[in-house]
Amino acid sequence: MKSPWIPRALRLAPALDWGLRTGPPRARYALLINPFYPKDPHASFGKHVLTPSLALTSIAGATPPDWEVKYWDENLLQGGPPSEPFPQVVGITVHLTFADRAYELARWYRERGARVVLGGLHVLSCPDEVAPHADAMAIGDGVAVWPEILRDVEAGALRPVYRGSYRRPYRDEPAPRRDLLPRRGFLTTTSLIATRGCHNRCGFCYLSTDGLTMPYQVRDVEQVVEEFRRDGQPYGVFIDNNLGSRPEYLRTLCRALRPLEVIWSAAVTIDVTNDPSLVREMALAGCTGVFVGFESLTGDNLVEASKKTPSPADYLRRVAILHDHGIQVNGSFVLGFDHDRTDVFERTVRWIEAARLECATFHILTPYPGTPLFRQMEAQGRLLHRDWRLYDTAHAVFRPRHMAPEELEAGYAWCYETLFSHRSIWRRRPADLRAVPAYLAMSYLYKKSNRVWHRLIRHRLTGPVWRPLVELTRRRHLRFRRRLAASSPGTPAMAATVVSAGV
């Protein structure tokens, strides 16, 4: 299979000028960096600029008022990291796939006099690897310890390790600093989180990492609604692991969001459809799309992964409930479980087409360090290597049970190639002909525009290009909401009237 085209700017991080001389660090100036990571040539390049890093903007929100703070995302393709003025403190988030880039940035800034703080999931799972690259490590909740770190820098008493607990009341955390973001660079800067944690503990999920204790908590509904309102965007994305973990909380949140007349999307599990009246509340509140982790269509895979979910045999009916309420579905599927054979790729894609999922995301099963899956693969001698750069869910880093690693990678690529084809996009069009033009506009901009995405990103045109489609979607959904509100609960007649041109 021919390798997909990918521009250099999305493959390679910007070069660092090792000979650059900088001025002395500016006191009480902190720079927060989201490092570059290579993009998957099979997936949409646009998905990387849909929303900014909420982790870093939340840490910025915890910065003491007498400190200056700046946000820098290398994935916005604006060149190398800033050095003028030179920061006293640099905070870098670390994920295993871009750990090497984070270490490179850390070395560059440390050699020039900055104090570097590394945080993120990889710091929690591999602290011994990370420690030599940092002046300090933030393990756990970085928001909780960031003010203390900065005060210790001022006092010349920076410690090598700071541990933040996720047990403190979630409502006490400060609001993210969205004012630091280049609004034109993202589809929306309104990335929100209302709940923390998940009722599932899937063996392959980062939430099951050793040492990560994240009890389920919710923020006050009023806080969430005010954040949405204050950012002034027509579209928001809830990045909660599962916004529907506590159904009555979600119902209350939806009723509070409804007067804003905005639209939003969120990650939920398919059991949110247990109560169609809750789905109705979501639609009335402006939900136009959900990201659902179906993971597998084989029940044995889900059982062995410890995922609590309805039977895959009931998935089609449940997807229809979401579609009946004008909510698009982006399904997530993991390939390479122990019960998967080489027919899993075609079976999955054909089911996606039968269910008319508007979008789907594929992942090769990846054993993240510190998870039960990693321990299992390690004990069975099935890990192929520990090159973290390839632990990106696009490469087979273990030996599958019923196929070769090369077959798994080829099947993964085939799934994306087929789903992004003109034929598959057309097969999954909405039943209502009135919704087809907007659906096609969304599909082709998101899925079939990879040759222009790097230009849109570099010139900060993501927001302006998407905005007309977002506003069209919002207006369509407002009309749909009025019809839905006028209908009796449980009336399926609304089903084909609008499947929004979701975003």
pLDDT value of position 220:
95
Q: What is the pLDDT of residues 348-397, one digit of tens each?
A: 999 999 999 999 999 999 999 988 899 999 999 999 999 999 999 999 99
Q: What is the pLDDT of residues 71-91, one digit of tens each?
A: 999 999 999 889 999 999 999
Q: How confident is the model at residue 306 (pLDDT cuts 50, 70, 90)?
A: confident
Q: What is the pLDDT of residues 383-439, one digit of tens each?
A: 999 999 999 999 999 999 999 999 999 999 999 999 999 999 999 998 878 788 888
Q: How confident is the model at residue 63 (pLDDT cuts 50, 70, 90)?
A: very high
Helix or strand or coil: residue 137?
strand
Most confident listed range (47-51, 120-124, 336-340): 336-340
CA 387 to chain centre: 22
How many whole angstroms separate alpha carbon 189 and alpha carbon 186? 6
Say if CB 314 and CB 321 are below 8 A apart: no
What are the C-alpha distances in Å from 32 to residues 8, 107, 159, 443, 470? 25, 15, 19, 33, 29
12: left (phi over 0), alpha (psi -120 to 50) or beta: beta
Helix or strand or coil: residue 265?
strand
Write down the residue that tokens 């039943």 correspond to: 431
Mean pLDDT of 19-46: 96
54-61 and 142-155 are packed helices; what angle lies between their axes, rounded to 10 degrees?
50
Q: What is the pLDDT of residues 106-139, one digit of tens each?
A: 999 999 999 999 999 899 999 999 999 999 999 9
Q: How confident is the model at residue 305 (pLDDT cuts 50, 70, 90)?
A: confident
What average pLDDT does the chain have?
92
pLDDT value of position 102:
98
User: pTM to 2 decimals?
Assistant: 0.92
**Confidence check: pLDDT of 493 > 60:** no
**Confidence check: pLDDT of 497 > 50:** no
Say if CB 67 and CB 29 are below 8 A apart: yes
Q: Sketch out the chain's domains with CATH numbers.
A: 8-170 (3.40.50.2300), 186-384+444-486 (3.20.20.70)
More confident position, 373 or 1: 373
Mean pLDDT of 292-304: 95
Q: How confident is the model at residue 209 (pLDDT cuts 50, 70, 90)?
A: low
pLDDT value of position 210:
60
How many whole angstroms separate alpha carbon 400 and alpha carbon 239? 30
**Confidence check: pLDDT of 503 > 80:** no
Mean pLDDT of 186-194: 95
Mean pLDDT of 21-32: 96
Q: How confident is the model at residue 206 (pLDDT cuts 50, 70, 90)?
A: low
pLDDT value of position 235:
97
pLDDT value of position 432:
79
How many whole angstroms separate alpha carbon 352 and alpha carbon 331? 8
